[in-house]
């Protein structure tokens, strides 16, 4: 989503919130015992508390490494009741959805059902056309690594006013949008560049990828994700909601400012129709499931070696970040490289990353979309005390 589905491995959130309703951080060790800010996660605990100090209503985080499982929460999950966040919270994961979509497309390639060198037009005839867009020149691979040049529909000003800003959001939060409608918004603009001539993050790419999954399998893309990823990995907190407006429990409320500059009052934006995000960002999960998913993906449980190699073949975004096929790489300040994705949607900012060997993972969520520094949390976990 605009300013909420990101171009790097960290969230591009707006400026700071004023006062925070903060509760003490709670850390839990491998056996579920309360451990406080001890051990190798002390820096992470501080970063979680700092996010709440910056204005995030609440944070939930789960890290897994050779020592076991460690969880932390800070702040509140409900500003009205001051109920704290839970380590088991489910939340909207935004663009983390893209890794699931790319995984299914790569599975279909491994099965010989399609090729990433197929053109978009060969699967979706005539859909990508107009104002210089030409689906006969764009490959599925270019959709997945954001080198297609296709305009990002969430950057459209009318779309932003209708679905992201206060007046439009409260009128249209329950609208159902077909993916083809989202693509038509993009086609009303010129492309960002010729196919393969650059890199630019575009949610339209993954709306199209979801449609290709549906065309090639004859089933909704969400059903394919459930059948191929969610069920085999027993991701019990993960779902593809479609048009369902709520977040299943256990969960916290989600909060947004609904302004361009992150100013103004805080609104409860928990309930919305996620079809506005479609296969670019509609999924719901929890931190335990996200760690399991990325660990399974990077250790070869979901893809054959050839497809995993394709997924991790990155295009340089800047000197620290690369984008593969629905998968981001980030080199941290201490030299560690992590793989994963981040995502944002109204009232929810999430990140999930792991090392290439799958031995050290962290996933977390802010239940606000205007404050906090996810990059600082990741840096603390891998490069801190």
What is the token pair recorded at 276? Answer: 């506005």
φ and ψ at residue 369, rounded to 5 degrees: -125, 15
What crossing angle do the helices spanning 97-110 and 203-217 adopt, rounded to 10°? 40
Q: What kind and span of H or E run contains 273? A: none
127 with 135: CB under 8 angstroms?
yes
Rg, C-alpha atoms of the chain: 20
**Residue 275 is among the residues annotated as catalytic for this protein:** no
In sequence order, the β-bridge partners of residue 366 are 59, 349
30 with 71: CB under 8 angstroms?
no
Q: Where are the beta strands (DSSP E) in the chain?
A: 26-28, 58-65, 68-75, 90-92, 129-130, 133-134, 255-256, 267-268, 284-286, 315-316, 321-323, 328-331, 337-345, 348-355, 361-366
Residue reference for tokens 């919305």: 272
Nearest alpha-carbon partner for 12 in 282, 266, 369: 369
Residue reference for tokens 């966040």: 85
CA–chain centroid gap for 180, Å, is: 21
Q: Which of 18, 86, 95, 252 is catalytic?
A: 95
Q: Which residues are catalytic?
A: 95
């Amino acid at each position: 989503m605009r300013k909420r589905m990101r171009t790097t491995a960290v969230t591009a959130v707006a400026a700071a919130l004023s006062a925070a309703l903060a509760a003490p951080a709670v850390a839990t060790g491998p056996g579920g015992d309360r451990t406080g800010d001890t051990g190798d996660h002390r820096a992470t605990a501080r970063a979680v508390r700092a996010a709440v100090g910056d204005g995030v209503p609440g944070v939930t985080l789960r890290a897994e490494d050779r020592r076991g499982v460690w969880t932390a929460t800070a702040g509140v999950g409900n500003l009205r009741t001051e109920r704290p966040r839970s380590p088991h919270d489910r939340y909207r994961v935004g663009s983390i959805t893209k890794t699931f979509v790319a995984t299914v497309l790569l599975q279909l390639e491994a099965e010989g059902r399609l090729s990433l060198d197929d053109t978009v037009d060969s699967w979706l005839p005539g859909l990508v056309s107009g104002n210089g867009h030409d689906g006969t020149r764009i490959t599925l691979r270019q959709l997945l690594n954001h080198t297609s040049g296709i305009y990002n529909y969430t950057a459209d000003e009318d779309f932003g006013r209708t679905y992201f800003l206060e007046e439009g959001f409260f009128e249209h939060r329950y609208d159902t949008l077909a993916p083809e409608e989202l693509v038509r918004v993009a086609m009303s603009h010129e492309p960002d560049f010729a196919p393969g001539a650059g890199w630019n993050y575009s949610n339209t790419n993954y709306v199209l990828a979801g449609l290709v999954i549906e065309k090639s399998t004859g089933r909704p893309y969400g059903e394919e994700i459930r059948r191929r990823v969610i069920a085999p990995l027993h991701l019990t907190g993960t779902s593809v909601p479609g048009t369902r407006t709520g977040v299943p429990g256990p969960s916290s409320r989600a909060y947004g400012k609904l302004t361009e500059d992150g100013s103004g009052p805080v609104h409860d934006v928990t309930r919305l129709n996620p079809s506005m995000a479609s296969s670019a960002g509609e999924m719901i999960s929890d931190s335990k499931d996200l760690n399991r998913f990325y660990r399974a993906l990077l250790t070869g449980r979901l893809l054959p070696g050839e497809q995993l190699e394709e997924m991790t073949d990155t295009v340089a975004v800047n000197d620290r970040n690369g984008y593969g096929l629905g998968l981001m790489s980030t080199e941290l300040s201490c030299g560690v490289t992590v793989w994963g994705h981040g995502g944002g949607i109204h009232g929810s900012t999430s990140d999930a990353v792991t090392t290439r060997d799958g031995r050290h993972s962290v996933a977390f969520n802010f239940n606000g979309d205007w404050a906090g520094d996810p990059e600082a949390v990741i840096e603390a976990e891998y490069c801190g005390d």
